[in-house]
Chain A
C-alpha cells in the first residue's frame, strides 16, 4: 500500500529508464533486484507496478461489491420469483471459469485496457458478493425491526439501504477484502496472459509474462521479484480479511 502511494518517490530509477550497460544484470548494489532484458531496474518497476495492480484490483472489487450488494439486498429482501430467477442467472455466470470469460471479452472487444480489466473482474465477482449478501439479508429481513419499519410506512428502498444494509455491512466488508485478494491474482493472471493491460506497462503480471522465458537462461530476477510481490500482497490482504473477520466476529 505504501509503495502504491509513494511509488515514484521510493523507486530508484524511472521505470522506463534503460541502462544499456546493465542488460540482464544480476541483483547488485546499484540495481537491488537486477535489471531486465531492456536494462530497466526491476526494483523500480516492482514498486511502481504496485500502484497499477492495487488500484485496478480495488476498483474492480468495488464495482463487484456494489453490484453484488445491490442485487443481493434485493434478492434477499424481496424473495420469491425475483430471487429465484436472479440467483439462477448469477449462478450460471459464476459457473463459467473466470479466465475464459475474460479472454472471450477481450477477444470480442478486440483490445485490452485497464478499464476493461476492471469491468470484467467486477462483473465476474458480482455473483459471489450477491450470494453472500443475500444470505445475510435473508436472516436480517426476518428480524422484527423490518416489520417495525413497515409499520411506519417506510418505502422498500429505505428499508433496504437505511435499515438492512448497515446491519449486513460487516459481512460485506469482509467479503470485499476476500475478493480483493482474488482480484490481485485475477489482474496479474490476465496481464500475464496478455488480456489485461497494454504490453510493456510496469504491472507485475505483464512483467512476469515478458520475462519468464529468461528463467531458463538463469536470468531469474526479473520474474521472481514481481511474482513475490503478487504473492505478498495477496497474502497480506488475506491477513487483513482474517483480522476483520475476528473484529466482526463472523
Chain B
C-alpha cells in the first residue's frame, strides 16, 4: 500500500486497573483504516469494541492505559502526545458519534449553538458559525434547519437528534469518524435512514469511518472491511462480503449461525448457540482466547496462541483450524424436559385468548390521547402472536391492557378460554392472574435487586399457586433448574448474574403460576445474539412442552418471524395487518409492513430496494385524517385511491383467508405494485 492509512493500530494492548490489578482488555489488536474506508468492528458486549475506539481517540477512562503497541494517526504515533495535542486532534481531525443522541447533546443549550461551537473552536467568527451550523444541518438532510437550530435536544426525535450529532461530528471536517453503535437505540425505519445518510456523507466527504456495532446486518451493509473481536483479541478480519460469505474463525461462524434469519421458523429449525460464556475481564490465556467455547478446540489450541492465517487476500483468521471452521459441527443445545400434563385437551390453534375492541385513552396535558384504537386480535393454544411496529405504536400498551395492569376503555373485552376477564388485576381472581404473565425487556428492572433469585420465583409460586413456603421454594428451585439456572446460583441476588441468566430467572418467575399465556416484551433485545438464541430456544421448548401461548413483542423482525405463528403489525395504536406469520412475511404486504421489512439491514447481503417511509410518526394526539398512514404511505401516490386515503379511515378487512389488512388499495393492486 502506498497511501498512509488514516488510522493504524499496531499490536495495541490496553489494560484497565480494577482494584489495583491491571486487567488486560485489548490483546495485540492491529488493524488499519485507509482514507475514505469504512471499517467495522463487531463482537459481543465486553469484547473490547468500545475500548478500541476510545483508545484510538486517546479517550480511555482514567483507569485505562495503553500498555503496549502504537496508534498511528496519519502515520504519526499518538500514544505519547500531550493533552494539548490530543485536544487539537479531537478538535480538528477525529470526531465521534455516540450511541445515545439524547445524552450526547447538552439539554440546556439550543442545538444551533452547540453546532456553532464546533465551528467557533476551529476559529470561525460567531456570526459565520451560526450560518455554517445551518448548512451543516442541511447536509444531514434535516428539513427546515433554521427552525431546528433554535430547538433544544429534548424537542427532537431520536433520529433527528442523531442527525444533529452527526452534523456536529462532521462540523470540524474530520478525517476520521468514530461511530459507536450509532443506530442501536433507533427504530428500524429511522435506523435505515440514518445509515443511508452516513453512506451518502461518506461518499461526499471521503471521511474514514470506524464503525462499531453488535449488529452484523448493519456492519455488513455499512463497511468495506470488518474485524471480529473476541475477548479483546482480533480473531478474524477481511473484506466484508468475503468474511460474511466464508467466515473462517469458529467464533464468527458461531455468531452468524446464532441469528434467526432467512425465514427460519421454530417449527422446523432450532437456533445454534455458542456454548459457555465469554471470559471475565482480564482473564489470562495460554492458548487461543476462544478455545474454551470452541467445538474444534484441541490440546494445541489450549496451549499455543494461534497466529493470523491468511485465508484469501486480506482475509485473515487467528485459528489453527480455519479450514474446518466453515463446516464445524452445529452447536444445538438439547434440553430434556420431563413431560408435564397441563390438563388441557385443547388442540394447538384452538382459540385461547380473544381481545375485542380494545382502546386506551391517556390524559396528556389536559387533552385526551387515544394511544390504542379499537384493537381486536385472537391467539390460539400453543401459538405465538408477534406484535411489531415502531416505538410508540402501542405494542407494550396492548400487553398491559391484556394483563390488566391498566384498564381498557368502555367496550373493550378480554376473553381467556371462553371466560371474560375483569378489567383490572385487582378484580381478577388468582387463577386468572396466574394464567397470564409477562417477561419484561430489562431484567435489571424487572427483578428486585434486593431479593434472592429463589425468593423472586418462590414468592410468585406462593402467591399464584397457594403453595406453602417450603413447597414454593422447592418448586422455585425446580423451575430454575428447568431454565438451566445452576443450583449454586439460586441464593444469589440478580446483580451477580449475567444478562442471559437474569432473563432465565424472569422466565422462571413468569412460569411460576403455570400460565396459559406469557407476554414476552422484547425479552432478548438487551442480550447478545448467542444468548438471544439460547433464550429463544428455551421459550420454544417451554411452548412445546406446556402448550403455552406467547404474545411476543419485538422490534427485531428476524426474531419475530422465527418465533411467531401469527403477526399483528401496529401503527399508531391500530392493527394495520394481521395474519399468519408466513402470509405477513411473504406478501402481498400492507404498505407499512413493506416499508418496515425493507428497512431491516440484510445480513445475507442480498440487495433489496428500500421502500422509504417519509416524515416522522405523527403524534397520536393529532392523528392524520383518513388512513393514519397516508402522509407517509409509500404506495398512496399513483395508486388511484389518494382522495379516499386522505378522507376515510379504511377498515381491517380479510384480503385472503386468514390475512387481514387495513388499506384502501385493493390487495391485487398492492401485489402488482410490490413485484
Contacts and interface: CB of A to CB of B under 8 A. Distances in A.
B254 interface: no
Q: Which of A147, A152, A153, A166 has the most CB of B within 10 A?
A: A152
A163 B445 CA distance: 12
Contacts of A154: 463
Given A144-B440, A145-B448, A152 B405 contact: no
Contacts of B460: 148, 152
B440 A152 contact: no
Contacts, number: 50
Q: Which of B449, B459, B464 has the most CB of A within 10 A?
A: B459
A63 B442 CA distance: 37
Interface in A141-155: 143-145, 147-154
Contacts of A166: 448, 450-451
A166 B451 CA distance: 9
Interface residues of A, number: 14
B459 A152 contact: yes
Interface in B421-480: 425, 430, 433-434, 437-438, 440, 442, 445-451, 459-460, 463-464
Interface in B399-424: 403, 405
A113 interface: no
B512 interface: yes
Contact of A152 (B447, B450, B451, B513): B513
A152 B464 contact: yes
A62 B261 CA distance: 59
Contacts of A163: 448
Contacts of A145: 445-448
A236 interface: no
A148 B464 contact: no
Given A152-B460, A153-B430, A153-B464, A143 B445 contact: yes
B617 to A, nearest CB: 23
B659 interface: no
B561 interface: no
A149 B451 CA distance: 12
A167 interface: yes
A175 B418 CA distance: 53
Nearest to B403: A151
B186 to A, nearest CB: 22
Contacts of A148: 438, 440, 446-447, 460, 509
A150 B509 contact: no
Contacts of B440: 144, 147-148
A171 to B, nearest CB: 13
Contact of B438 (A143, A151, A153): A151
Q: Which of B405, B445, B464 has the most CB of A within 10 A?
A: B445
Contacts of B437: 151
Contact of A153 (B403, B433, B446, B451): B433
A150 B405 CA distance: 8
Nearest to B447: A145
A160 B451 CA distance: 14
Contact of B446 (A144, A150, A152, A167): A144
Contacts of A147: 405, 438, 440, 446
A168 B596 CA distance: 42
Interface string A48-67: 00000000000000000000
Q: Which of A147, A163, A166, A167 has the most CB of B within 10 A?
A: A147
Nearest to B405: A147
B433 A151 contact: yes
A224 to B, nearest CB: 45
Interface in A130-181: 143-145, 147-154, 163, 166-167
B495 to A, nearest CB: 12
25 contacts: A143-B445, A144-B440, A144-B442, A145-B446, A147-B405, A147-B440, A148-B438, A148-B446, A148-B447, A148-B460, A148-B509, A149-B448, A151-B405, A151-B425, A151-B437, A152-B434, A152-B459, A152-B464, A152-B512, A153-B425, A153-B463, A154-B463, A163-B448, A166-B451, A167-B448
Given A144-B445, A148-B438, A153-B463, 6 more contacts: A143-B446, A144-B442, A148-B446, A148-B447, A149-B448, A166-B451
- Nearest 3 A-B pairs (CB), nearest first? A166-B450, A144-B446, A152-B463
Interface of A: 143-145, 147-154, 163, 166-167
